[in-house]
Structure 1
Amino acid sequence: MSVLLTDINLGDGISGWELAQQIREISPGFPVVYMTSASAPDWQSRGVEGSLLIQKPFAPAQLAAAVSQLLDTGPSPA
């Protein structure tokens, strides 16, 4: 199974928020993990349903746990 791991601030005219929304339009329930150092307060209002957010800096084990949690629970409801 695949998981989208995205920073919120991608640079080139698209944000991680927008990227996840576009992927969810194609594949509802696609697992999403956002990574950020400054945009965490926006996650509840801008993140896709069923996503997770980890704040930078984070340990590799935190990222692994987030991905594992999403894969273990399966796709989010559309």
Structure 2
Amino acid sequence: MPELPVILVVEDEEPLQDIVHDALKDGGFDLVTTASGEEALTLFKSGVVKYAALVTDINLAGGMTGWDLARELREADSSFPIVYMTGAAGDQWAAQGVPNSILLQKPFAPAQLVTAISQLLNAGSSSI
């Protein structure tokens, strides 16, 4: 049986972590969740897990924002799929977001998250 794609999720609000967890599990993904951009970057760079995509809130606890984290990950992998989630920073996406990313405005339906990740993963696999 093939392994499920592992999504790196960065969200510092527990109720939202639960919603994202359930949506991704139901959508056929595995995931690792953390509350800070710094911890997510450490996990990504460790190479222990090969992550398929990043789902990140914009405003995070600590010094790193979701914008910062996405840029760091894109330096390591220029086509790494990124989905941003935000309730307040959507107007900054054009200036702050990385190319070929998707922004979901909170609140969003769980199916929208699964669709966004699937779109990015399918787009990446067709260009190989």
Task: Please say whether Structure 1 and Structure 2 have the same fold, judged by a TM-score greater than 0.5.
Answer: yes
3-state SS of the aligned residue for 1:63? helix
Whichever of the two has the greater Rg, that structure is 2
| More contact order relative to length (CA 8 Å, sep ≥ 6) | 1
Quote the RMSD (CA, aligned, Å): 1.5
Match of 1:38 in 2: 88
Equivalent in the alignment of 1:11: 61
Letter in 1 for 2:121: L
Residue 50, structure 1, aligned to residue 103, structure 2:
no
Q: Distance in 1 between matches of 2:106 and 2:83?
A: 12
SS of the residue aligned with 2:83? Answer: strand
Once the 2 structures are TM-superposed, how far is the Cα of residue 24 of structure 1 from its aligned partner?
Answer: 0.6
AA partner of residue 71 (structure 2): Q
Determine which structure has the larger helix proportion and give its number. Answer: 2
TM-score (norm 1): 0.92
1:28 alignment partner in structure 2: 78
Number of corresponding residues: 76
Gaps of 5+ in 1: none
**Secondary structure of the residue that 1:29 maps to in structure 2?**
coil
- Compare 9-18 and 66-75 and name the one that shifted more: 66-75
